[in-house]
Chains A and B, each alone.
Chain A
Amino acid sequence: MVFLSNLVNGVSLGSIYAIIALGYTMVYGIAKMLNFAHGDVIMVGAYIIFCAAHYWQLPFPAALLIAMLVSTALGITIEKLAYKPLRQATSLAVLITAIGMSYLLQNTALLIWGANPKVFPDMLNIGSISLFGGQLLIKGETLITILVNIVIMVALTLFISRSRMGKAMRCVSEDKGAAELMGINVNTTISVTFAIGSALAAVAGLLLCSSYPMLQPTTGSMPGIKAFTAAVFGGIGSIPGAMLGGVLLGVIEILGKAYISTELGDAIVFAVLIIVLLVRPTGLLGKPVREKV
């Protein structure tokens, strides 16, 4: 029973990683860049929800909607101001700019909301479910997180495979030049990708802070790094890969902390990542790249 409970918690934590990892992997697939500021967009989204619920006393759906809108606007603005001028630059230059963006967001949040951790309001207050005669207690947040993850996964897969915009995204990720020749607006497509990733970041922020209700300017960085790891774990650029990688990473982290050592939880996660990459150098679901001479 303890194992089952740990497993459920792991899947729940992994679902959060998976939703964040989607943002990394979609942007990587299309713009071929590591958007290190993504973790901080989560933090901003969580702060907006906190403000909406705490100061303005808005109901939960309105708060989430506002946070998603703000995050989306933020994501598009970052892309337009900082990444778009660098589309022809080296990948390292873009990486450093993304890191600068991450510092910028963290320090702006520090100035606006201060360094003291805020206690995130308990919004998903729906009680717990008890199974097997009270032996297995699953918290409401845990279930919601897993459900939301499944909904997002299905919706996103349908969007990418069925809609016109999804088709455009697949084209741009395969060959930007050819896509442009076929009449696809590359700039809009990239902006839409950033918008979706950032809107998902706000959802991830809500779920993350509902499970771990301490909110401070650095809240986004560690989950950001872990989710990035998850994206690579599943094969960066692949959407099912991000899902699989995120969930597996969460399960490994919780089980590792429970059965091996609490202090070494992060080390176990990263060690598993290294082993997987050594066996499959492009991640679990990543396509091997053929080298042409």
Chain B
Amino acid sequence: MKTKKARLITNAVTYGVLIALFIILTVMINNKSITRTLKGQLIPICSWIVMAVSLNLVVGISGELSLGHAGFMSIGAFSGIVISGWLLNGFGMEDTTLRLLLAIIAGGLIAGIFGALIGIPVLRLRGDYLAIVTLAFGEIIKNVMNCVYTSVEGTTLHFGFLNSALPGTLLLNGPMGAVKVKAISTFTAGFILVMVTLVIVLNLVNSRSGRAIMAARDNRIAAEAMGINITKYKMMAFVTAAALAGMAGALYGLSMATLVPTKFSFNESINVLVFVVLGGIGNIPGSIVAATALTILPETLRFLQNYRMLAYAILLILVMLLSNNPMVKNLWRRLIPGRKDNGEEALKA
């Protein structure tokens, strides 16, 4: 258990570094001294950071392996696109900031509702069975989104399932996904979303509820004996993570011109899980670093051309092998005394 002071310092450093980075990057954008590839990646990086931090809430803090996190991102992305298109076409709302704000809030709300609906059955299961059911829900969401058609006519939204004959302008076109999306996401909005996520997650973790969530993770039976309502606290972590993923999805969806439902496949859920595991299970600043580094890495490896993803795979395996090697672990412990990996120890139990 970290002391209160050490925790405050870590949190302050995390916020401080992020704010400093944001200011530097904004200045660089204004100076035009930033490469175009990096500039294009800023919004996706923000959404992946939010995804990683929220998944860490489920995997690290609550101790349940979820393999379907991209499903919530998908729900958030497509609801955000529909809300934004509806506000623009139906109500003529030209103000992009307000529209983006409403779209992100709606994406978070709808994903949160689905998180609650899915959480009720999922959290009854344990271990690998829980993991496979989250995988199944992720695949179901992808498959169902492939069949949803939405159009806007005046101020009314029309929904069709497996039925593309809808009046008005199509917003979602089944397997073709969202086409001709007005990209309204900005880096500033992404940064604010990252900060909001951090405030929510760090405060939740350091609150009475957060301690209850971690107690349920460390020893379910002991926590239950102390009068902790396990289901309630596991749901709290799961729904919060789903809502945050929905918001990240809305931000991501509204930064692209087109978006297909198959984008949010099992592979994306796994990618986010890789961020969480490499950054350190239960380690929130670690998730941020890993999400940023691993989003930029495949682009920086572009000089390897066709060998790019191969190099990425080999790096991933090597990092996992080295970080779990007893000799390397001992070395770390000697270099940084007092370092504890409490999240991992807990998951092992």
Contact = CB atoms under 8 A, between A and B. Distances in A.
Interface string A75-109: 00000001001101111110111011101100110
A286 B181 CA distance: 47
Contact of B317 (A91, A104, A277): A104
B124 A103 contact: no
B130 to A, nearest CB: 9
A267 B143 contact: yes
Contacts, number: 123
Interface in B300-349: 306-307, 309-310, 312-314, 316-317, 320-321, 323-326, 344, 347-348
Contact of A96 (B306, B307, B320): B320
Interface of B is mostly: helix
B34 interface: no
B260 interface: no
Given A92-B347, A267-B143, A100 B320 contact: yes
B129 A103 contact: no
A97 B321 contact: yes
Contact of A281 (B124, B140, B317): B124
A81 to B, nearest CB: 8
Given A267-B143, A281-B129, A86 B314 contact: no
A92 B281 contact: yes
Contacts of B307: 111
B128 A86 contact: no
Given A92-B347, A107-B310, A261 B162 contact: yes
B132 interface: yes
Contact of B136 (A28, A86, A108, A273): A273
Given A97-B317, A100-B317, A273 B143 contact: no
Contact of A271 (B140, B278, B320, B325): B140
Nearest to B225: A293
Contact of A86 (B124, B266, B321): B321
B309 A107 contact: yes
Contact of B144 (A90, A100, A101, A267): A267
Contact of B221 (A82, A274, A293): A293
Contact of A291 (B59, B65, B221): B221
Contacts of B306: 110-111
Contact of A34 (B59, B126, B128, B277): B128
B270 interface: yes
Interface residues of A, number: 44
Interface in A13-59: 28, 34
Contacts of A270: 136-137, 139-140, 143
Contacts of A96: 273-274, 277-278, 316, 320
Interface in A215-267: 225, 228-229, 232, 236, 261, 263-264, 266-267
B146 interface: yes
B23 interface: no
B277 A267 contact: no
A282 interface: yes
Nearest to B126: A281
A274 B320 CA distance: 31
Given A89-B324, A90-B347, A232-B129, A111 B310 contact: yes
B317 A264 contact: no
B74 to A, nearest CB: 13
Contacts of B144: 264, 267
B139 A267 contact: yes
Question: Closest 10 interchain pairs by CB?
Answer: A103-B313, A270-B136, A100-B316, A104-B313, A267-B143, A89-B324, A100-B317, A107-B310, A97-B320, A107-B309
Interface of B: 59, 65, 121, 124-126, 128-129, 132-133, 135-137, 139-140, 143-144, 146-147, 162, 221, 266, 270, 273-274, 277-278, 281, 306-307, 309-310, 312-314, 316-317, 320-321, 323-326, 344, 347-348
6 contacts: A100-B314, A103-B312, A103-B316, A270-B139, A270-B143, A274-B133
Given A88-B324, A267-B139, 4 more contacts: A104-B314, A107-B309, A108-B310, A270-B136
